[in-house]
Homo-oligomer: A and B are copies of this chain.
Amino acid sequence: MTTVAILGGAGPQGRGLARRFAAAGVEVILGSRTAERALAAADELTEEVGGEITGADNGTAARVGDIVLVVVPWEGHAALLGSLAEELRGKLVVDCVNPLGFDKAGPYALPVLEGSAAEQARALLPESTVVAAFHHLSAVVLDDPDVDSIDADVLVLGDDDVAVDRVIDLAGMLPGVRGVFGGRLRNAQQVEALTANLIAINRRYRVHAGIRVTDV
């Protein structure tokens, strides 16, 4: 039985993923800066969804999870992962973070020294296996109990084929969602940054856009 830890799990994206995984029968541990915050979010979700959701501080969640999703704001990404290298040793770490800025003209991609959030995670966690995924799912749609099926694919990027396949399977547990191999980790930047385009699309068309890969 796989336990999925979600670091930053009390935020909207983390909550939404936790809700869906728990509903699919996956054991979920929400991580947050404080155990209190995580436990409050976990209790709230358990009441709504049922299933196996618990909460802890990010470090404990990282230690408990078999697969660890990183869903923290970009601003806290490097500091958090740098502090958890020990807890995340040997784990499958799924980076879901989009380094974006916002100004009057809307969203835009922030430059990342390592190339992408996922490659920064790999640099900070040399003894973990890093995969990038879950960038393009709308937090609003994920966290909306009235949405039965999510019309979107999840691009899964990584250099370890076994880890990639595990995350493709994990993505497929979200209702309506399909995991699709999306390339090696060095091609993660544009996948993360594309979220800026999806936000621009959302604003123009007043939708919650996702993407589907055709012909696969």
A interface residues with partner B (beta carbon < 8 Å)? 105-109, 151-152, 155, 157, 180-184, 186-187, 189-194, 196-198, 200-201, 204-205, 207-216
Main secondary structure of the interface of A (DSSP, over half): mixed
Which residue of the partner chain B has the closest CB to A191? B197
- Taking CB atoms, residues of chain B closer than 8 Å to A216 are 201, 205, 207, 209
- Taking CB atoms, residues of chain B closer than 8 Å to A201 are 180-183, 213, 216
A184 vs B180: C-alpha distance when bound (angstroms): 27
A106 vs B151: C-alpha distance when bound (angstroms): 29
Do residues B209 and A211 form an inter-chain contact, with CB atoms below 8 A? no
In the complex with contacts A180-B201, A212-B211, A213-B209, A187-B108 CB distance below 8 A: yes
Task: List 8 extra interface pairs beyond A106-B183, A189-B193, A207-B215, CB under 8 A.
Answer: A187-B193, A187-B196, A190-B192, A190-B193, A205-B215, A210-B213, A210-B215, A211-B214
- Taking CB atoms, residues of chain B closer than 8 Å to A207 are 215-216
- Taking CB atoms, residues of chain B closer than 8 Å to A213 are 198, 201, 209-211
A107 vs B151: C-alpha distance when bound (angstroms): 28
Which residue of the partner chain B has the closest CB to A150? B214
In the complex with contacts A193-B189, A214-B151, A184-B200 CB distance below 8 A: yes
Distance of A183 from chain B, by nearest CB (Å): 4
- Taking CB atoms, residues of chain B closer than 8 Å to A193 are 187, 189-190, 193
Do residues A209 and B214 form an inter-chain contact, with CB atoms below 8 A? yes
Which residue of the partner chain B has the closest CB to A141? B215
- Taking CB atoms, residues of chain B closer than 8 Å to A184 are 105-106, 200
Distance of A94 from chain B, by nearest CB (Å): 17
Do residues B190 and A205 form an inter-chain contact, with CB atoms below 8 A? no
